[in-house]
Amino acid sequence: MSLPSIMMGINQVIMMALALVVLACFIGAEGIGGQVWQAIRRLDVGWAMEGGLCILFMAIMFDRFSKACSNKEDKLPSNVKKFHLLPQNLEKYKIARILEMPLDITSKILDFICIKITNFIASFTSILISIFNKNTANDIGEFISGRFYLFPSLIALFIISFIDSNLYEIGTFPKEWKLSIRQPISNAVESLTVDPGFIAFSKGLRGFVYLNLLRPLDIFLTHTPWWYTLAVFASIGYFTVGLRFAIITIILLLFIGACGIWPQSMITLSSVLVSVLLCFIIGVPLGIIASYSERFKNIQDVVLDAMQTLPYFCYLIPVLMFFGGGIVSAVLATVIYSIPPIIRLTALGLTQVSGTYSEVSRSFGGSLLQTLNKVKFPLAIPSLVIGFNQTVIMAFAMQIVTPLIGGKGLGLEVFNGLARSDTGRGLAAGVGIVLLAIIIDRISLAWTKKQRIALGLAKK
């Protein structure tokens, strides 16, 4: 029951690890990340995007593998033939069964070979180990004999590597096969930057975000007395979590103020809140649509993989070229990077709600919107909150990168500290980001404590 959520967590770890390959090149790592960084230094959008797409394709493969591991295998009737390549719903057509016949025969031959090889390895290993301990030999033999494809695959891999290294290159990618998309991408970006319609759209979006969201909240937080802001957060912490957390909130905010980074913290907080608000407004409806439409979900997953695993350095350059430098560009880049979790976990939470509840709602005359609002959303709140928390955490993490395109606040302090080798300044700003993230995270979790207790996901 919990396997899909576990695999979703593993999937998120893989996505975030691949997204950091560019940063890893700063401390000596090699690979595609180094290629992307070289392209960014030269402001070559096509080259950077080409390397980023390679990382994206790897992410898509790992994403599909992790999802396949959590899928339950459908039990087919005895009179239905299992398909290996074509969709199973085509089994009723004779032409589909004919096309699948060679694959079925090949699969049976491979199964036979793998089973024989694995049993031989298991028997041989058991005989050797039984000289010392028979019980251990039996356990190891059972372990090996249950992995029919693992050990033959390792043997085949070793043989291919040996032949490629010593006899003939069969494992090296052919040097003659070349494909470059650098120039078309660069040309497309340059054409958009001079297109009147796109210029009008980018200016309108930038003006709306800045004048209606960023500037009012920024002015409010930076010009409000520090003790008032501290009292508001302490009150929220007291009524949502409790007295202990309210005291902790006061201590954490006093620490931020004592470090001399209070104005920068408020700027960062305003940027993150606006980014999370935009993520929520855009992400939740997309997650709802994905929970009802499998086709839309499959298309959306590819886009989300691209947004989450494409190194953010790759889209910092287009954002900078389309919207110019400044805090609005920083917010938009943060939205692109932070929105996938709330979309994915909204869709996951609504999908995991049993269809029985929806049927009961419809039987009592509930409409689609009433069922969604009164039944599905309350049951999916734990997943929604996890998505919200992940979005908040990723938005705070993105603040370290946004100074490259005009971002301000604590991220700029960290960036300046690194540039000037001022460890204390950078560490203080980094700790400030962490403390703000902790406060927002605990408050958001506390708001849904009653629902999580009712669902058995938390203790009283």
On average, the pLDDT of the chain sits at 80
Q: Residue 213: pLDDT above 70?
A: yes
Q: DSSP string covering 269-327, please?
A: HHHHHHHHHHHHHHHHHHHHHHHH-HHHHHHHHHHHHHHHHS-HHHHHHHHHHHH-SSH
pLDDT number for residue 70? 67
Half-sphere exposure of 28 (CA within 13 A, CB side): 0
Contact 433, 376 (CB under 8 A): no
Which of the two residues, 110 and 454, has the higher pLDDT score? 110
The lowest-confidence range among 175-189, 343-357, 438-452 is 438-452
The lowest-confidence range among 41-55, 79-93, 264-278 is 79-93
Query: CA 344 to CA 347: how far, in whole Å?
Result: 5
Query: CA 234 to CA 243: how far, in whole Å?
Result: 9
Please state, in angstroms and as integers, the Cα–Cα distance from residue 336 to each residue in 266, 282, 343, 400, 405, following that order.
22, 11, 12, 15, 14
Contact 62, 16 (CB under 8 A): no
CA dihedral 385, 387, 391, 392 (to 10 degrees): 20
Query: CA 422 to CA 413: how far, in whole Å?
Result: 10
pLDDT number for residue 176? 74
Q: What 8-state DSSP symbol labels residue 194?
A: T
CB atoms within 10 A of CB 5: 16
The number of residues in the chain equals 460
The lowest-confidence range among 60-64, 249-253, 425-429 is 60-64
* pLDDT class of 456 with cuts at 50, 70, 90: low
- The tens digit of pLDDT for each residue in 132-144 reads 777 787 888 888 7
Distance from CA of residue 152 to its chain's centroid? 33
Contact 374, 38 (CB under 8 A): no
Please state, in angstroms and as integers, the Cα–Cα distance from residue 343 to each residue in 41, 279, 303, 349, 399, following that order.
32, 9, 11, 10, 21
Query: CA 263 to CA 250: how far, in whole Å?
Result: 17
Which of the two residues, 169 and 72, has the higher pLDDT score? 169
Structure tokens at 347: 């869709």
- The tens digit of pLDDT for each residue in 161-207 reads 888 777 777 767 777 777 778 888 888 877 887 788 888 888 888 88
pLDDT number for residue 251? 92
Q: Is 456 exposed, middle or buried (0-12, 13-18, 19+ CB in 10 A)?
A: exposed
Is the CA virtual torsion 376, 382, 383, 386 positive or negative?
positive
Q: Residue 23: pLDDT above 80?
A: no
Q: DSSP string covering 68-121, please?
A: HHHSPPPPPPTTSPPPSSS-GGGTTSHHHHHHHHHHHHHHHHHHHHHHHHHHHH
Half-sphere exposure of 181 (CA within 13 A, CB side): 10
CA dihedral 115, 119, 120, 123 (to 10 degrees): 180
Structure tokens at 48: 């950077």
Q: What 8-state DSSP symbol labels residue 25?
A: G
Pick from 429, 408, 202, 406: nearest CA to 323: 202
Is the CA virtual torsion 94, 100, 106, 110 positive or negative?
negative
Question: Which domains are assigned to the chain?
Answer: 91-166 (no CATH), 197-224+259-454 (1.10.3720.10)
CB atoms within 10 A of CB 346: 26
Angle of CA points 26, 32, 35, to nearest 5° = 70
Is the CA virtual torsion 167, 171, 173, 176 positive or negative?
positive
Query: pTM of the entire structure?
Result: 0.70
- The tens digit of pLDDT for each residue in 82-140 reads 766 777 777 777 787 788 788 888 888 888 888 888 888 888 888 888 877 777 878 88
Q: Residue 339: pLDDT above 70?
A: yes
Contact 35, 47 (CB under 8 A): yes
Contact 382, 341 (CB under 8 A): no
pLDDT number for residue 3? 67
